[in-house]
């Protein structure tokens, strides 16, 4: 199957016209349909891993029960802070991502200038790389990028261009890379460069979907299996290897046909069309790894006794490397929380988020009539999900951001090691996120009350007794 795809790609045949043949070759990935809402994700994961997830054979019994609510506390000690409220040459408008090289220098992509800023270990600015534009060495939008050895790589989705810089800021090359197209029902998905390897090649991931105004004829119909290859690109954009397969695109990007959760509902109040807040999706989070991926499942809790977060590491061929189950105490949605969501949505701000603690600040006053209409249209489960996101750091450790109720000023971040075993839990300001972490250090973006982002370098250590 892999060889067939490689031969088709070599002849330019990875297209909508040839894809049905690949679907036919991969029919063993086809999923069994049913009307249940709570089971599709589990069935899909079983198809990828080749094992029944109801089995406990992959569970680590030696460690006993794992509990998200009973982890040791960790503390953060601030060491360096970068930013400014008044000086745009020092401060940030929007930080998209960050990386750190072997010498400890910090690289930050600043959204206002579309440039990579480089800082020394004391937080002093060293140089600026790139800028806004469509020319070589410039970016039309925030790229996927990183630092490997003495090379900075950046893939610009707008221009479909892979750019390489030296860490001294020298432009090395800029080459178009259109990625690999994956036909979907009425759309095309794209596997694009995700990370640079130490050998100078790039692993690809399913990262984008493009749909025409009218339904495209792609040869793929709703309900068809859609196998996605894990490919490796060279710097010119050519596919040099196929290293694995996924049975489907990421479920949060292309939900399984059985997933019946309503998305993007609207209601009209007077002359205003407002988005109705949706509950957070329980579809799994995919986190790519060079040797496979991490899958984080959060099935909806059915009662207050216990909920579970299921963390699975899959290999390149879908084999299960490990599987962990963490229990937690489910927290019910309160009327106050749902009222706050409706109030925020009535202003037209933050309607994509169902986490009041992470909402926009400084929005206009709520509209009572719109708030009542939105609240009546909302449909939420009884319990909140335990997490709002999951990130992987430079050491392969997992950072799991806990969902917090309305009015919280801090957010708990659970740290797990590369095998998804517990390290501890940190508390950070609710409006913060992990940008980069390795060993005992982490760079965290913290936004102040004015929405101004600051980059803070912390040392992570055990809490005092």
What is the residue-wise DSSP string for 369-413? HHHHHHHHH----SB--SEEEEEE-TTS-EEEEEP--TT-SEEEE
User: What ranges in 220-361 are assigned the alpha helix state H?
Assistant: 335-346
pLDDT at residue 32, rounded to an integer = 32
pTM metric for this prediction? 0.83
Distance between CA 451 and CA 109 in Å, rounded? 17
**Two structure tokens written together for 284:** 């799994």
Dihedral sign, CA of 249, 250, 254, 257? positive
* Max mean pLDDT range (2-6, 23-27, 394-398): 394-398
pLDDT at residue 256, rounded to an integer = 87
Q: Is the pLDDT assigned to residue 390 strictly greater than 90?
A: yes
Identify each DSSP E strand in 4-160 by its residue range.
66-67, 74-82, 95-100, 106-110, 115-119, 125-130, 144-148, 151-156
pLDDT at residue 148, rounded to an integer = 97
Which residue, 173, 176, 234, 174, is CA-closest to 200? Answer: 234
pLDDT at residue 463, rounded to an integer = 81
Q: Is 43 helix (H, G, I), strand (E, B) or coil?
A: helix
pLDDT at residue 215, rounded to an integer = 56
| Helix or strand (DSSP H, E) at 191 | strand 187-196
96 CB neighbour count, 10 Å cutoff:
17
Half-sphere exposure in the Cβ direction for 187 (13 Å, CA): 11
392 confidence band (pLDDT: 50, 70, 90):
very high
Q: Is the pLDDT assigned to residue 139 strictly greater than 70?
A: yes
Distance between CA 250 and CA 74 in Å, rounded? 33
Distance between CA 313 and CA 327 in Å, rounded? 18
Mean pLDDT across 8-23: 38
Using alpha carbons, list the distances in angstroms from residue 418 to 14, 125, 164, 332, 443: 35, 32, 29, 31, 19
Mean pLDDT across 214-226: 80
214 confidence band (pLDDT: 50, 70, 90):
low
Which residue, 277, 263, 385, is CA-closest to 330? Answer: 385
Q: Are 118 and 100 in contact (CB under 8 A)?
A: no
Residue 274 or residue 217, greater confidence: 274
Express each pLDDT in 336-365 by its tens digit. 999 999 999 998 764 434 444 444 444 578
List for the chain the helix, strand, coil content (%; round to 5). Answer: 10, 40, 50
Mean pLDDT across 428-444: 95
pLDDT at residue 451, rounded to an integer = 84
Using alpha carbons, list the distances in angstroms from residue 235 to 87, 170, 192, 238: 37, 17, 12, 8
Residue 65 or residue 367, greater confidence: 367
288 confidence band (pLDDT: 50, 70, 90):
very high
Identify each DSSP E strand in 270-376 by its residue range.
272-275, 285-289, 292-297, 307-315, 320-328
Range of weakest confidence among 31-40, 163-172, 245-254, 286-295: 31-40
Residues 6+ apart with CB under 8 A from 107: 98, 99, 100, 101, 116, 117, 118, 119, 147, 152
Mean pLDDT across 193-201: 95
Q: Is the pLDDT assigned to residue 378 strictly greater than 80?
A: yes
Q: Is the pLDDT assigned to residue 200 strictly greater than 70?
A: yes
pLDDT at residue 369, rounded to an integer = 92
DSSP 222: T
pLDDT at residue 48, rounded to an integer = 37
Q: Is the pLDDT assigned to residue 75 strictly greater than 90?
A: yes
- How many helices (H) and strands (E) are present in the chain, helices listed first? 5, 28
Express each pLDDT in 84-124 by its tens digit. 988 877 889 899 999 999 999 999 999 989 999 999 999 99
pLDDT at residue 264, rounded to an integer = 82
Q: Are 394 and 100 in contact (CB under 8 A)?
A: yes
DSSP 59: B
Distance between CA 13 and CA 15 in Å, rounded? 5
213 confidence band (pLDDT: 50, 70, 90):
low
Q: Are 297 and 309 in contact (CB under 8 A)?
A: yes
261 confidence band (pLDDT: 50, 70, 90):
confident
Q: Are 429 and 357 in contact (CB under 8 A)?
A: no
Residues 6+ apart with CB under 8 A from 14: 5, 8, 180, 181, 239
Using alpha carbons, list the distances in angstroms from residue 125 to 89, 90, 96, 116, 454: 9, 8, 18, 11, 14
pLDDT at residue 64, rounded to an integer = 61
Q: Is the pLDDT assigned to residue 76 strictly greater than 90?
A: yes
Phi, psi values for residue 168, rounded to 5°: -85, 5
Residue 410 or residue 34, greater confidence: 410
Q: Are 160 and 149 in contact (CB under 8 A)?
A: no
Burial-class residue 273 by CB neighbours within 10 Å (0-12, 13-18, 19+): exposed
So where are the chain's domains? Answer: 261-383
Q: Are 406 and 356 in contact (CB under 8 A)?
A: yes
% of the chain residues with pLDDT over 70 = 82
Half-sphere exposure in the Cβ direction for 264 (13 Å, CA): 0
Q: Is the pLDDT assigned to residue 193 strictly greater than 90?
A: yes
Q: Is the pLDDT assigned to residue 239 strictly greater than 80?
A: yes
Average predicted confidence (pLDDT) for the chain? 83
Which residue, 280, 279, 272, 281, is CA-closest to 373? Answer: 272
């Amino acid at each position: 199957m892999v060889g067939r795809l490689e031969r088709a790609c070599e002849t330019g045949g990875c297209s909508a016209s040839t894809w049905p043949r690949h679907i036919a070759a991969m029919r063993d990935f086809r999923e069994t349909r049913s009307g249940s809402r709570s089971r599709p994700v589990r069935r899909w994961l079983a198809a990828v891993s080749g094992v029944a997830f109801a089995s406990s054979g992959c569970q680590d019994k030696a460690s006993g029960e794992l509990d998200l609510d009973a982890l040791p506390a960790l503390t953060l000690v601030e060491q360096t802070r970068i930013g400014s409220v008044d000086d745009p040459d020092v401060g940030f408008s929007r930080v998209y991502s960050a990386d750190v090289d072997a010498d400890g220098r910090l690289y930050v992509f600043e959204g206002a200038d579309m440039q990579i800023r480089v800082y020394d270990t004391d937080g002093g600015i060293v140089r600026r790389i790139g800028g806004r534009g469509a020319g070589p060495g410039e970016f039309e939008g925030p790229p996927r990028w990183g630092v490997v050895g003495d090379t900075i790589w950046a893939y610009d989705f707008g221009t479909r261009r892979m750019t390489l810089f030296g860490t001294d800021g020298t432009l090395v090359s800029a080459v178009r890379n259109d990625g690999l197209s994956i036909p979907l029902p009425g759309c095309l998905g794209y596997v694009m460069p995700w990370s640079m390897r130490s050998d100078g090649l790039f692993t690809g991931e399913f990262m984008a979907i493009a749909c025409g105004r009218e339904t495209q004829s792609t040869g793929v119909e709703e309900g068809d299996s859609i196998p996605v290859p894990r490919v490796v690109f060279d710097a010119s954009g050519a596919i040099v290897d196929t290293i694995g397969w996924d049975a489907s695109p990421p479920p949060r990007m292309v939900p399984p046909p059985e997933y019946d959760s309503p998305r993007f509902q609207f209601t009209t109040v007077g002359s205003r069309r407002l988005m109705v807040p949706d509950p957070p999706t329980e579809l799994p989070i995919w986190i790519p790894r060079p040797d496979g991926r991490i899958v984080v499942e959060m099935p909806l809790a059915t009662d207050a006794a216990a909920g579970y977060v299921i963390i699975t590491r899959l290999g390149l061929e879908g084999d299960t490397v490990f599987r962990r189950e963490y229990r937690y105490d489910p927290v019910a949605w309160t009327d106050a929380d749902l009222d706050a969501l409706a109030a925020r949505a009535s202003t037209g701000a933050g309607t994509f988020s169902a986490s009041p603690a992470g909402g926009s600040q400084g929005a206009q006053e709520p509209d009572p009539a719109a708030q009542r209409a939105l609240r009546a249209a909302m449909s939420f489960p009884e319990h909140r999900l335990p997490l709002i996101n999951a990130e992987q750091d430079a050491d392969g450790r997992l950072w799991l951001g806990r969902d917090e109720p309305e009015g919280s000023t801090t957010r708990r971040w659970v740290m797990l090691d590369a095998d998804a075993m517990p390290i501890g839990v940190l508390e950070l300001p609710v409006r913060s996120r992990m940008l980069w972490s390795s060993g005992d250090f982490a760079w965290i973006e913290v936004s102040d009350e004015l929405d101004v982002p600051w980059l803070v370098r912390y040392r992570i250590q055990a809490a005092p007794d």
